[in-house]
Structure 1
Amino acid sequence: MGVVVSFEEKKQETGVAGLVALVASDMKLVNQLILSKAGSDVEMIPEVANHLISSGGKRLRPMLTLATARMFGYGDSGHVRLAAAVEFMHTATLLHDDVVDESDLRRGKLAARKLWGNQASVLVGDFLLGQAFKMMVEVGSMEALSVLADAAAVIAEGEVLQLGAAKNTETTEDEYLAVIKAKTAALFSAAAEVGPIIAGASVAERAACRSYGMNLGYAFQLVDDALDYGGKSADLGKEVGDDFREGKITLPVVLSYRRGSDEDRAFWKRCLEQGDIQDGDLERSIELIREHRALEDTVERARHYGAVARDALAPLAKSPHKQALLDVVDFCIERVH
């Protein structure tokens, strides 16, 4: 009947444990800075920000910044500010995403927009972006600022691009990959590149980390796409099928739609384009995705990008940080089997 997708907690812990251990002291400083910079005399701002900041995200992106900076011998404190800025950019994106997608849950809790409203969520996201750029400026690296500013613009473009693809079952695989390149992979890439920039790494070393981050981002998002149709709610931090209920066009849907019969395609159009979801439709969508091997092929594409990420780091000297970054690729991919 097709691939069985599940989340394996032991594999996850093993895959990311090395990175967590290596950056633990730096991450403590990052977390302190995040809490400090999320503060404001405007009472609603820290309430909304801390609701999401404290909700148990992996903090993978800022850890990439810390690890890549240390990998090239960086010994100052700028990487802590850049890592916090990266996390604020990510958090702001989530606040904005939930408004655009009309999501009710985020990481297993009510989305901020459900508690404080859409306007507050958007404006607090803007506040966090402002704080992120203040921290970038404080680091004093125009190159790092340029990379993260470019990423912010690309992410915004990705949001608009996704609006065009939203609920459009005719979306092609290339069009979908363009969306996740902008919305997900761009920030992974920038997070991995600014570390070597402030560490004074060579152009080739920066390019290696940039490519690693970009391809890791692709792999990470594709696995998330697969888990939405084959994971478990307790492990996902959200309800299985949230993408389906929100009418999101993800790669498993793109592949299943294109490979299906006219009747199958009519089903996807009714559910995702018209929003007419009836009892049993989620189960039917999962059946169709498995019938057309859309989960296996989504995971296979994620494995491809994971392999490209590993290859990007191959020329770099062996080090505990390099090994930890390679293990993170396994962490991203091995959430499914």
Structure 2
Amino acid sequence: MTATLHRLDKRTDPSLDPLMALVADDMNRVNAVILDRMQSKIPLIPELAGHLIAGGGKRMRPMLTLACAKLIGYGGTRHHLLSAAVEFIHTATLLHDDVVDGSDLRRGKRTANIIWGNPASVLVGDFLFSKSFELMVEAESLKALRVLSGASAVIAEGEVNQLTAIRRIDTPEDRYLDIIGAKTAALFAAACRIAAIVADRSDADEAALDAYGRNLGIAFQLVDDAIDYVSDADTMGKDAGDDFREGKMTLPVILAYARGDEESRAFWRDAVSGKRASDADLAHAITLIRSTRAVDDTLARARHYGQRAIDAIGRFPNGPAKDAMIEAVEFAIRRAY
């Protein structure tokens, strides 16, 4: 196979532009579905949903559904409905997450829960989940419905798992990987897999697209968790140090704690428990993470999973779709640099 992740070290400016160009026409149709189905006779619903849906997100997950359909030569239209369903699931999850996390910023804008309150955000999230299931049914694929509904359940399990791991300094690395595999990678995997399902492709093709999405999703979340300690609010679109202040045991913290001396481990125990949450404490945490190379190794893991994503689509023909999907992996990794 010629596509390998050494390209990440050579190309410093990968972009989502090829992916966006590849699926532009299909994405216009998906956007039309999204705008139509988020409407309601209750004005607050489209107002609140539109705040997030039109809030600058790249819509990477539905784009991956469309790109996978291009990769395997699907010529139908059912994937438009399913792509919109994927975006509604993702948006509903974000609305609920921001309530759980008490977040103030999302994509550089005030979160819906800050503007309209927690009850409205939760209920509109429920509305979007319901709409996603309507779209799945309309796509007339029981198997796609099973995959996306299963992914929705796994996402919820992942969020609960993360909630119960918050402020637990003893959270092991394998539990962390279980959490991000559920709360992030499951929807990436399902978004890719459903393209093969509606195209009636083989189980092997389904598995390959699932593996591409799943490994890309893990890499994407690893990079996000690293960025929280090496970037700022303008770059991240959320408050810098949110994970630190919320006591989330992400991989950079797990590695820094494991590699620290007793003094630094005592700091991490206090920080994760909520006793050390000032700006000065965050600065010290960043110093410890850098001195233990925890971010470097987190990003190395991300590159590993990115390579696995690229390997997974090696069975498919070379061409614009495959190139765009490879560059999407490169883009996901390079966000941290």
State the TM-score bracket (shorter-chain normalisation): over 0.9
2:123 aligned partner: 123
1:258-304 deviation digits (Å, cap 9, x = unpaired): 11122212212222213542341111010000011100000000000
The answer to whether the Cα contact below 8 Å between 1:11 and 1:335 also exists between their aligned partners in 2 is no
Where do 1:198-237 residues align within 5 Å? Answer: 198-237=198-237
1:7 aligned partner: none
Q: How far did 1:71 drift?
A: 1.9
Q: What TM-score do you get using the length of structure 1 for normalisation?
A: 0.94
CA distance in 2, matches of 1:192, 1:205: 10
Q: How far did 1:70 drift?
A: 2.1
Q: How far did 1:103 drift?
A: 1.2
The answer to whether the Cα contact below 8 Å between 2:154 and 2:186 also exists between their aligned partners in 1 is yes
Give 3-state SS (helix, strand or coil) of 1:230's partner. Answer: coil
2:282 aligned partner: 282
Give 3-state SS (helix, strand or coil) of 1:39's partner. Answer: coil
1:151 aligned partner: 151
The answer to whether the Cα contact below 8 Å between 1:176 and 1:250 also exists between their aligned partners in 2 is yes
CA distance in 2, matches of 1:114, 1:196: 39
How many residue pairs are counted as aligned between the two chains?
327
1:72 aligned partner: 72
CA distance in 2, matches of 1:122, 1:274: 26
Where do 1:133-212 residues align within 5 Å? Answer: 133-212=133-212
Is 1:292 aligned to residue 292 of structure 2? yes
CA distance in 2, matches of 1:169, 1:117: 31
Q: What TM-score do you get using the length of structure 2 for normalisation?
A: 0.94
Q: Summarize the Cα distance change of 1:96–1:17 in structure 2 as closer, same or farther, 3 Å threshold.
A: same
1:104 aligned partner: 104
The farther-off stretch of 86-95 and 98-107 is 98-107
2:18 aligned partner: 18
CA distance in 2, matches of 1:195, 1:188: 12
1:95-146 deviation digits (Å, cap 9, x = unpaired): 1111111111111111111111111111111100000010010010111111
2:242 aligned partner: 242
Give 3-state SS (helix, strand or coil) of 2:103's partner. Answer: coil
Q: How far did 1:31 drift?
A: 1.3
RMSD in angstroms over aligned alpha carbons? Answer: 1.3
The answer to whether the Cα contact below 8 Å between 1:257 and 1:264 also exists between their aligned partners in 2 is yes
Q: Which amino acid aligns with 1:85?
A: A
Q: Which runs of 5+ in 1 are unaligned?
A: 1-9
1:252 aligned partner: 252
CA distance in 1, matches of 2:126, 2:144: 20
1:1-52 deviation digits (Å, cap 9, x = unpaired): xxxxxxxxx956x431111101001111111211111111112111111111
The answer to whether the Cα contact below 8 Å between 2:244 and 2:282 also exists between their aligned partners in 1 is yes
Q: Which runs of 5+ in 2 are unaligned?
A: 1-10
2:46 aligned partner: 46
The answer to whether the Cα contact below 8 Å between 2:189 and 2:210 also exists between their aligned partners in 1 is yes
CA distance in 1, matches of 2:210, 2:31: 24
Q: Which amino acid aligns with 1:249?
A: M
Q: Which amino acid aligns with 1:118?
A: N
2:264 aligned partner: 264
Give 3-state SS (helix, strand or coil) of 1:315's partner. Answer: coil
2:5 aligned partner: none
Q: Which amino acid aligns with 1:242?
A: D
Give 3-state SS (helix, strand or coil) of 1:169's partner. Answer: coil
Give 3-state SS (helix, strand or coil) of 2:310's partner. Answer: helix
CA distance in 2, matches of 1:204, 1:311: 14
Q: Which amino acid aligns with 1:246?
A: E
The answer to whether the Cα contact below 8 Å between 1:102 and 1:246 also exists between their aligned partners in 2 is no
CA distance in 2, matches of 1:278, 1:134: 45
The answer to whether the Cα contact below 8 Å between 1:247 and 1:275 also exists between their aligned partners in 2 is no
The answer to whether the Cα contact below 8 Å between 1:103 and 1:246 also exists between their aligned partners in 2 is no
CA distance in 2, matches of 1:292, 1:128: 42
Q: How far did 1:157 drift?
A: 0.6
Give 3-state SS (helix, strand or coil) of 1:243's partner. Answer: helix
Q: How far did 1:247 drift?
A: 2.1
Q: Summarize the Cα distance change of 1:295–1:320 in structure 2 as closer, same or farther, 3 Å threshold.
A: same
Is 1:311 aligned to residue 306 of structure 2? no
CA distance in 1, matches of 2:125, 2:190: 19
1:42-100 deviation digits (Å, cap 9, x = unpaired): 12111111111111111100001011112222222211111110011000110111111
1:134-188 deviation digits (Å, cap 9, x = unpaired): 0010010111111101100100111111111111111111110000000000000
